[in-house]
């Protein structure tokens, strides 16, 4: 098992893409920490039904106190932090619309979670990773900033910021043995997206037509790239963002 006894945190891990990542890490024999605003304990309890314990932590990544408490709880439980997956983000609740109709409050709430949340989570786990001689940070981005997708300007800008942060953090943390990479999914039929009829109507078919692999993308399509970046198979990679979208964008 590639992640045997590694301690991994998945933010936004209670459902959707995060839940699929948490499940795959658990199958790879990692000690999984599910951090989410709701449902984290239930998700961890389900994982813990096997012989390998998991930890659920209620956490709002946009709040510094929550991310610091998350890191402390993981260290208290497992003694180390090997991998952080910054998956928590606002997307599935959004409705595409012209940028002139976006309000500044929408920008701020989205950036608080998608960008500041990732920053705070990185800041919370970095001291432990440095003290133990290394670690992995994997940022879940999006294919949208590579393609310049219209009508979701605040979301596209937030994921463009994540791509830039991935490169800058890789240089800043590389000397401490901390590798920072990203995964950029295409339009994915997560639970939240399936519950948003506007997104399905406006984005599902056009995304399907843009792909070389002409089928819907689901959360399980993303987990292989994330697990690869968390494993020793990617021990000489940092500052990279892998696009996983069925061939809609070649990067």
Beta-carbon contacts of 154 under 8 Å, excluding residues fewer than 6 positions away, are 102, 106, 107, 110, 111
What does the pLDDT read at residue 196? 85
Res 86: pLDDT: 98
CA-CA distance, 211 to 204, in Å (whole number)? 11
Tokens describing residue 222: 């993303």
Q: Which of 25, 91, 119, 155 is flagged as catalytic?
A: 155
- Judged against a pLDDT cut of 90, whether residue 211 lies above it is answered with yes
pLDDT, position 202: 84
> Residue 75 class from Cβ within 10 Å (0-12 exposed, 13-18 middle, 19+ buried)?
middle
Please name the residue that has the structure tokens 């940028």: 99
Q: How confident is the model at residue 220 (pLDDT cuts 50, 70, 90)?
A: very high
CA neighbor of 18 nearest in space, from 1, 2, 4, 39: 39
Indicate the average pLDDT of the chain: 96
Q: pTM of this prediction?
A: 0.95
**Coil, strand, or helix at residue 222?**
helix
Range 130-136 average pLDDT: 98
**Listing from the earlier edge strand, what are the strands of the sheet with 31-36?**
55-58, 31-36, 7-11, 83-86, 135-140, 178-185, 241-244
Q: Would you call 68 exposed, middle or buried from its count of C-beta atoms within 10 A (0-12, 13-18, 19+)?
A: middle
- Radius of gyration of the chain, Cα coordinates, nearest whole angstrom: 17
Other Cβ atoms less than 10 A from the Cβ of 186: the count is 25
Contact partners, residue 45, CB within 8 Å, separation at least 6 = 54, 56
Strand pairing class (55-58; 83-86): unpaired
Structure-token match 């619309």, residue found: 97
User: Is the pLDDT higher at 115 or at 51?
Assistant: 115
| pLDDT tens digits, 159-210 | 999 999 999 999 999 999 999 999 999 999 998 888 888 888 888 898 989 9
The residue count of the chain comes to: 251
- Are 140 and 183 in contact by the 8 Å Cβ rule? The answer is yes
User: Residue 123: what pLDDT?
Assistant: 98
Instruction: Give dist(CA 18, CA 29) in Å, integer.
Output: 17
249 included as an active-site residue: no
Question: Do the beta carbons of residue 55 and residue 7 sit within 8 Å?
Answer: no
Q: Closest Cα partner for 19 from 84, 87, 83, 82?
A: 87
E strand or H helix that includes residue 197? helix 197-199
Lowest model confidence (mean pLDDT) among 169-173, 202-206, 212-216, 243-247: 202-206
pLDDT at position 199 is 83
pLDDT of residue 191: 84
Going along the chain from its start, the domains and CATH numbers come out as: 7-244 (3.40.50.720)
pLDDT tens digits along 73-128:
999 999 999 999 999 999 988 999 999 999 999 999 999 999 999 999 999 999 99
Query: pLDDT over 90 for what percent of the chain?
Result: 87
């Amino acid at each position: 098992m590639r992640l045997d006894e590694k301690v991994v945190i998945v933010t936004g891990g209670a459902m959707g893409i995060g839940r699929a990542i948490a499940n795959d890490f658990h199958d790879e024999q990692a000690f999984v920490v599910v951090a989410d605003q709701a449902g984290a304990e239930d998700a961890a309890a389900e994982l813990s039904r096997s012989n390998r314990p998991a930890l659920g932590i209620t956490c709002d990544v946009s709040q510094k106190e929550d991310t610091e408490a998350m890191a402390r709880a993981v260290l208290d439980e497992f003694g180390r932090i090997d991998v952080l997956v910054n998956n928590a983000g606002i997307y599935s609740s959004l409705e595409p619309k012209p940028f002139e109709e976006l309000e500044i409050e929408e920008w701020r709430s989205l950036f608080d979670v998608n960008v500041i949340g990732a920053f705070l989570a990185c800041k919370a786990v970095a001291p432990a990773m440095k003290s133990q001689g290394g670690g992995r940070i994997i940022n879940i981005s999006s294919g949208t900033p590579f393609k310049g997708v219209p009508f979701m300007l605040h979301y596209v800008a937030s994921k463009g910021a994540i791509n830039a942060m991935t490169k800058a953090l890789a240089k800043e943390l590389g000397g401490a043995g901390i590798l920072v990479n990203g995964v950029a999914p295409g339009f994915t039929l997560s639970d939240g997206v399936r519950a948003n009829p506007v997104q399905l109507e406006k984005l599902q078919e056009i995304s399907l037509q843009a792909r070389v692999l002409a089928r819907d993308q689901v959360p399980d399509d993303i987990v292989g790239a994330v697990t690869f970046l968390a494993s020793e198979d990617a021990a000489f990679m940092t500052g990279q963002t892998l696009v996983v979208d069925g061939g809609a964008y070649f990067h």
